[in-house]
Structure 1
Amino acid sequence: MKGCFCPCVVVGRNHHRIARGTDAGYDTCNGWCMGWTALACFGGCGWILQMIDRGDMRDKYDLEGSGCGACCTSFWCGCCEAIQTSKQLDYEQVSQNPGVPAGYVAQDKMNAMPQHH
């Protein structure tokens, strides 16, 4: 719901978590959130900040993908991109800090596709 109706909050939190690796010190109304809102309201360009964050996350966690993919995903479905980035950050941050309570935990059945012979 938050990704669809208030994406600036999700994008701001994603940026904070990419930059700092944790929610510590996170403020709902941070600069990235306000910047996204300003760009989205005055020109529909909030997706640019999402594209930047997606690239930064990809570099930080050595994930597959490309700048073109980040651009297309951010431009065509910004709310889906923000939610997907948030879930990926949940996964990455839990896997790097095993003692931290998990936000998103992949289920065993989600890890591998069944093999049919």
Structure 2
Amino acid sequence: MDSYPETKETKEGLSQPPQYEPQPAMSIPQEQSRVVVTSRQGRWKADLFDCFAVPGLCIKTCFLPCLTYAETKEKMNSNMDFRTNCLCYCAAVYTGFDCCLATVTRGEIRGQQGINGDIVEDACTHLWCGCCALIQEHRQFDDEPSE
């Protein structure tokens, strides 16, 4: 069994390899996404464990995380008002789904701000460092850059 392609005979009796037709180039459609350009593209403005840098926000988040969550959602231009976001977070805490709700919100923030990461990282961050994550997300929308 010969697996080589057939060759063509020329006038001189020499054989030439077959000519292949060029194939059309494949193109992958590019997704368009909303990305807000910041000075630190791809990164959070504040580090995760920088939560004590703003003491008032830290105390408020430790005792009333629903307020910090609702303020962050308000800064994100959420389609729900402050009170509704606050009540949603309280209901999530009561039912044990606060980590899930906060993980989804963190993913929305990353998408809106062009920050690198994935859902597993977001879930782990809120599972083990929930208050610090809420503070970091809140500080992402501060006007002055945090270094």
Distance 1:49 1:74 in 2: 10
Name the structure 2 match of 1:61: 113
Measured in 2, the distance between the counterparts of 1:7 and 1:16 equals: 14
Coordinate RMSD, CA, aligned:
1.9
From 118, 134, 147, the equivalent of 1:82 is: 134
Partner of 1:72: 124
When the two structures are aligned, how many residues end up with a matched partner? 88
Hey, what's the Cα distance between the residues in 2 that align with 1:87 and 1:60? 14
Quick check: 1:7–1:79 contact (8 Å CA) kept in 2? Answer: yes
Which structure: larger Rg?
Answer: 2
Q: With a CA cutoff of 8 Å and minimum separation of 6, indicate the structure with the bigger relative contact order.
A: 2
> Partner amino acid for 2:131?
C
Structure with greater proportional helix content:
1
Runs of at least 5 residues in structure 2 that lack an aligned partner in the other structure: 1-58
TM-score with structure 1 setting the length? 0.67
TM-score (norm 2): 0.54
- Runs of 4+, deviation exceeding 6 Å: none
| Correspondent of 1:10 among 68, 78, 81 | 68
Identity of aligned residues (%): 28
